[in-house]
Structure 1
Amino acid sequence: MTAVDEAARSTGSRIGGAVLAFVVGVVAGLILTVGHHHVWRIGGAELPWGLVLALAGVACLVAGLRLLAADRWPAIAAAIGIVGTVAVLTLPGPGGSVLVPGGIPGIVWAIGPALVSVVVLAWPRLPERGRRHA
């Protein structure tokens, strides 16, 4: 293989990886938006465990892609997929129904994935540690 073929394959694989990460982000955004509604009622209190797990899922997906990939593009693509999907699903549908209702949990879910993604993407890469020889 020549250097040009290697560079083209590398660019193609990077674009393909970013597109795949975007699709995974859209699917995760759909699933987590539906799941963020779940609450656990204990006595008179409601614990929003669905919202907590959904935000943790966003953090895990974006952080996992950030750690595995050599650059930030797959994590950025997944974050765009999640945030875009959540933004679309917060809009009222043709019949007036919404998947993200108003109120504190809805506001946290509408803003939370973007904030979590920005924090994970802005976090600096840790330097590689050298192996210790005994």
Structure 2
Amino acid sequence: MTDVARPGLGSRIGTLVIAFLVGVLYGTLGTVGHRHVLAIGDVVLPWGLVAALIGVAALLVAFRVFSGRLVAAVVGLGVIVAVGVLTLTGPGGSVLVVGDLTGTIWSLGPALITVFVVAWPHLPARSAARAAA
């Protein structure tokens, strides 16, 4: 059995900075893409919004499973900050997130998903004997 050294403070801070930047990047891409729709006759499918929200959930779950609550929370914070900043009116008066239903869902969805993923309890692992039954 080998001793596994705990990561140092610098490594932990670096991980959190990278996690935040990944969240900002995904929040930016999701904000730009959340308005895409597919129109089939009279039916309009908001595939951009659905893909962005599923992507946020998958990103947070992956970070939660492989890196823990804190890193997942920081990724979620990065997404929320990016969405919040890009919701503001730009210098020319343009906006990326319109104040309609789609924009409201995109503005609130990542925050709700972050809270849900970070607050999800840790489930105990199944024992090998019980899993085989």
Would the TM-score normalized by the shorter structure come out above 0.5? yes
Distance 1:26 1:63 in 2: 16
Q: Which residue of structure 2 aligns with residue 22 of structure 1?
A: 20
Query: 1:53 maps to what in 2?
Result: 51
RMSD over aligned Cα atoms: 1.7
Q: Does residue 105 in structure 1 map to residue 102 in structure 2? A: yes
Aligned residues: 127
3-state SS in 2 of match to 1:12? helix
Question: In the alignment, which residue of structure 2 is the partner of 1:3?
Answer: none
Aligned to 1:120, the other structure's residue is in SS state helix
Report the alpha carbon displacement of residue 36 of structure 1 after superposing the two structures with TM. 0.5
Please give the per-residue CA displacement for 1:40-73, whole angstroms capped at 9, x wherever unaligned.
101112110100010001101111100001x311
Aligned-pair identity (%): 52
**TM-score scaled to structure 2, two decimals?**
0.88
The yes-or-no answer on 1:92 pairing with 2:94 is no
Aligned equivalent of 1:122, options 103, 119, 124 = 119
Structure 1 residue 34: deviation in Å?
Answer: 0.6
- Normalising by structure 1, what TM-score? 0.88
- Alpha-carbon deviation of 1:82? 0.1
Aligned to 1:33: 31
Q: Secondary structure at the match of 1:37?
A: coil
Letter in 2 for 1:17: T
